[in-house]
């Protein structure tokens, strides 16, 4: 529905923002490790800074194992909602596999009301094996869990009374999730994946967004995955392939000149919990979208993304990981918001076809719903109108 609707507001064509995984990592330059409290407070400050510098989205991961702290994303996002006015609050991952769909429906509808609609979510399976049994699930059932749980969540957010039975949880009879979504419109859903065509298929089937966290692998991998999603989106009748709703992850570290950026970031890269002690910084930046250099180098790299992936709706950057101190992250956000994003907005707007949807917002979803209802009512009225009899 959203892809086929006209853009109903002056929202950005491409939403720019940041996401955090919330790792607690020792700063390799001084050996200091922040406390969990310090890291949580830093994330809250980073989110508020994102709005201050003009970004559109802040997205928070969900993790239940050290060294990560965001085990309760809606708690943190609720606080951020109270401290911001424009920022779209999202998740970098909401675990659709190990969370109960009923609780997801309740939590995110509640957050919608608290944040006046500035909410969407990215559903993912999670890739940490031990987390599954902690929540009574089996990682070998990751894909079936994601498919069944979302089928239920989709209904809970759209139907006032749900009868349901499945394989992975107890049945529901006459169940109503409360509160109901704000304005009767659920939060927009992105399905996040870095490798699974089944998840791209799921996103396409429902006409939802597909978020490819484009930070680890060469572009050709994500081109295939996103291309498949676009093809299946059109197959299911949600719009043309180029209207499919796509989001991308990204990574950057900047300084006024490239040499300073590389010198400062190298120890953090070399010791990062995800890719540290692996490929060199130079190898990784060549093979993935990680860009370490001047703001202009980041602009040049990311302005070319739509040549590979087509016109898309959301670009998020990972900026606060690997032990980087808060002061440094806030300086990075100044560069991103003041020097990089304004130029990228102009670049992404050039020659963007009018039929390509803008980034999803609550207001646009409400407008699309209302337009669909009006069209349906008009069609019913025409069908019911009496045919004039010839004299």
Topology classification of domain 15-382? TIM Barrel (3.20.20)
Least confident of 74-88, 167-181, 289-303, 376-390: 376-390
Q: Is the pLDDT of residue 126 over 90?
A: no
If you average pLDDT over residues 260-287, what whole number do you get? 90
CB 226 within 8 A of CB 208: no
Q: Is the pLDDT of residue 108 over 70?
A: yes
Question: What is the pTM for the complete model shown?
Answer: 0.93
pLDDT of residue 166: 94
Q: Is the pLDDT of residue 193 over 90?
A: no
pLDDT 10s digits, 291-327 = 999 999 999 999 999 999 999 999 999 999 999 999 9
pLDDT of residue 376: 80
Helix ranges restricted to H, 66-125: 73-83, 101-114
If you average pLDDT over residues 251-261, what whole number do you get? 95
pLDDT of residue 13: 93
191 to 97, 174, 205: CA distances (angstroms): 12, 28, 11
In sequence order, what are the residues at sequence separation of 6 or more whose Cβ sits closer than 8 angstroms to the Cβ of residue 287?
217, 218, 279
Strand partners, 253: 292
pLDDT of residue 391: 33
268 to 26, 40, 277, 360: CA distances (angstroms): 9, 20, 11, 34
Could you tell me the residue ranges of all domains in the chain? 15-382
């Amino acid at each position: 529905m959203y892809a086929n609707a006209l853009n109903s507001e002056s929202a950005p064509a491409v939403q720019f923002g940041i996401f955090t995984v919330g790792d607690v990592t020792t700063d390799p330059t001084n050996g200091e490790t922040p406390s969990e409290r310090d890291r949580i407070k830093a994330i809250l400050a980073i989110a508020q800074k994102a709005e201050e510098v003009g970004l559109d989205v802040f997205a928070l991961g969900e993790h239940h194992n050290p060294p990560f702290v965001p085990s309760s994303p809606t708690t943190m996002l609720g606080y951020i909602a109270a401290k911001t006015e424009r920022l779209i609050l999202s998740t970098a991952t909401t675990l659709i596999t190990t969370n109960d769909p009923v609780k997801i429906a309740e939590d995110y509808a509640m957050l919608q009301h608290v944040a006046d609609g500035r909410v969407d979510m990215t559903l993912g399976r999670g890739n940490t094996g031990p987390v599954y049994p902690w929540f009574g699930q089996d990682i070998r059932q990751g894909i079936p869990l994601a498919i069944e749980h979302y089928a239920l969540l989709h209904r809970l957010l759209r139907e006032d009374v749900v009868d349901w039975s499945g394989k992975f949880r107890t049945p529901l009879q006459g169940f109503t999730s409360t509160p109901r979504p704000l304005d009767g419109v659920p939060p927009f859903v992105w399905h996040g994946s870095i490798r699974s065509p089944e998840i791209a298929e799921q996103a396409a089937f429902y006409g939802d967004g597909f978020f490819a966290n484009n930070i680890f692998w060469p572009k050709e991998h994500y081109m295939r995955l996103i291309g498949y999603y676009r093809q299946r989106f059109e197959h299911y009748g949600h719009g043309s392939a180029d209207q499919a709703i796509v989001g991308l992850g990204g990574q950057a570290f900047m300084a006024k000149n490239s040499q300073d950026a590389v010198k400062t970031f190298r120890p953090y890269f070399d010791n990062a919990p995800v890719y540290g002690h692996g490929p060199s910084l130079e190898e990784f930046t060549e093979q993935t979208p990680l860009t370490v250099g001047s703001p202009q180098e980041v602009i040049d790299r990311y302005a070319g993304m739509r040549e590979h992936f087509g016109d898309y709706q959301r670009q998020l950057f990972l900026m606060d990981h690997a032990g980087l101190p808060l002061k440094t992250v806030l300086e990075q956000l100044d560069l991103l918001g003041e020097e990089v994003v304004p130029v990228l907005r102009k670049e992404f707007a050039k020659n963007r076809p009018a039929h390509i949807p803008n980034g999803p917002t609550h207001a646009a979803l409400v407008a699309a719903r209302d337009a669909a209802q009006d069209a349906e009512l008009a069609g019913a009225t025409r069908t019911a109108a009496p045919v004039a009899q010839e004299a």
